[in-house]
Amino acid sequence: MALSVADRAIGAIIGAAVADAAAQPMHWIYNPDELKEVLSDLEPCPEFRPQSANPFYRRTTGEQTCYGDQAHVLLESLSQCGDINVEDLTRRFYEFFGPGTVYDLPLNDPYRKKGGPKAVLPIDGPWRNASLKAFIRNVDAGKEETGCDVDCQIDGITKIAPVVAMYAGRPEMLEKVEKATRVTQNNDLCVAVTLAAARFLEHFILNGPDPSALGAVLAQLNDPNRQSPQELDRAVIAHISQVKDITLMLRLCAVFILNPDLFPALPGAFQGALHGVLTLNQLDEAVRDTMRRGGCTASRASFIGACFGAQVWQEQGCWACKTYPIFCLCTLLIEKLRRHGTGG
């Protein structure tokens, strides 16, 4: 039986969550030798490693990274408000990632000065990354624009699934994605690349599996009358076009492992994730493939999971049961889609 648009919308959010959790225990392994050793004990199924091998932080297997947690917070806000409510979203982000939370660890103090005692890694708990720390400082300072204006990492892409799922097929979808993104990342390149990612995810939610997705999104970006045009769209088109060159992408993936400065920075992180979406055929094999690349595996996996979840969401059962917030997500999603969500 063909999936409805509502089915694919639900699948996109569940897919992002399960993929993030699957990759979490192997997140941020940049050393090729260490990665090879960890994989040797897990192949051919490296997902949901029982003990974390993350060299920076440790969470229980099945829990989300900071990327998946941001998506969860965004989903809760949408469920309660029925729209992108910046005030509510700001409050929820601060309450989830701010003072007194599991993210409030000494090493990730937003006000921690550089040059202090050397950090002891990995820390026991989740990692509060650069944009979240800047967001907390901006909220504390009472700034109207709370997003970090210098951070250009993949956070925006990793948390868009709830927004795209709700607004797919509606002209305001990209406007809503930009609004949500700028709450924590007020950076133009970050927004432009995130909007391109949203176009891909929307295409899969509306159409299901489609080998012409890349051409369709490039056509949108080249349309002078496109929705939510960005000054950097021409650069984004060039970055997406590079993904068509598989040989180039394989070289880039090798660089990702060797140079941690490139990950999870944009546009390279998005290119790596998009490569997996366009060249592989199902969620599990694509997530496993990106995990074998090392680096910021979870961020790439979350976008890969969203795109494949929108195409084959019913195949996620065995991974979903290993993912901590998945049943809560399902409840919120079904309620949201019934009241405000995508039709189908």
pLDDT tens for 277-298 read: 999 999 999 999 999 999 999 9
For residues 48 and 108, give the distance between their C-alpha atoms in angstroms, rounded to a whole number.
Answer: 25
How would residue 316 be classed by pLDDT, with cut points 50, 70 and 90? low
Q: Indicate if the pLDDT at residue 247 is higher than 90.
A: no
**Mean pLDDT over residues 93-102, rounded?**
98
Annotation-wise, does 146 bind a ligand?
Answer: no
Average pLDDT estimate for 299-308: 97
Whether the per-residue pLDDT at 335 is higher than 90: the answer is no
Pairing of strands 57-58, 123-124: parallel
**Residue percentage of the chain with pLDDT more than 70:** 88
d(CA 152, CA 262): 11
Task: Give pLDDT, residue 5.
Answer: 92
Q: Which residues contact 151 (CB under 8 A, 6 or more apart)?
A: 130, 131, 134, 185, 187, 190
User: Is 252's pLDDT higher than 80?
Assistant: no
Tokens coding 88: 């509510």
User: Would you say 299 is a known binding-site residue?
Assistant: yes
- Decide which of 149 and 244 is more confident: 149
Question: Does position 191 have pLDDT exceeding 90, yes or no?
Answer: yes
pLDDT surpasses 70 at 314: no
The whole-number pLDDT of residue 334 equals 67
Report the 10 Å Cβ neighbour count for 121. Answer: 11
**pLDDT band at residue 151 using 50, 70 and 90 as cut-offs:** very high
Whether the pLDDT of residue 338 is over 80: the answer is: no
% the chain with pLDDT above 90: 77
Which pair of structure tokens corresponds to residue 142?
């009472």
DSSP states along 285-309: HHHHHHHTT-BSHHHHHHHHHHHHH
Residue 260 above 90 pLDDT? no
Query: For residue 295, what pLDDT is reported?
Result: 93
| pLDDT value for 313 | 64
Supply 285's token pair.
């094999």
Q: Given pLDDT bands bounded at 50, 70 and 90, which one contains residue 259?
A: very low
pLDDT at 163: 96
Give the amino acid at 256. F
The DSSP secondary structure of 234-279, one letter per residue, reads HHHHHHHHHTT-HHHHHHHHHHHHH-GGGSSBTTHHHHHHHHHHHH
Average pLDDT, the chain: 90
pLDDT score of 2 more than 80? no
Band (pLDDT 50/70/90 cuts) for residue 141 is very high
H helices within 24-110, ranges in order?
32-40, 66-81, 86-97
CB 256 within 8 A of CB 263: yes
Pick from 29, 22, 57: which is nearest to 293 by CA?
A: 29
Domains and CATH numbers, the chain: 5-341 (1.10.4080.10)
**Residue 212: CB partners within 8 Å, gap ≥ 6?**
none
Query: What angle, rounded to 10 degrees, do the helices at 5-23 and 283-291 form?
Result: 30
Q: If 0-12 CB within 10 Å is exposed, 13-18 middle and 19+ buried, where does residue 81 land? A: middle
pLDDT at 262: 40
pLDDT at 263 over 60: no
Q: How far apart are CA 176 and CA 164, in angstroms?
A: 8
| Residue 148 three-state SS | strand
pLDDT of 253: 55
* pLDDT tops 90 at residue 160: yes
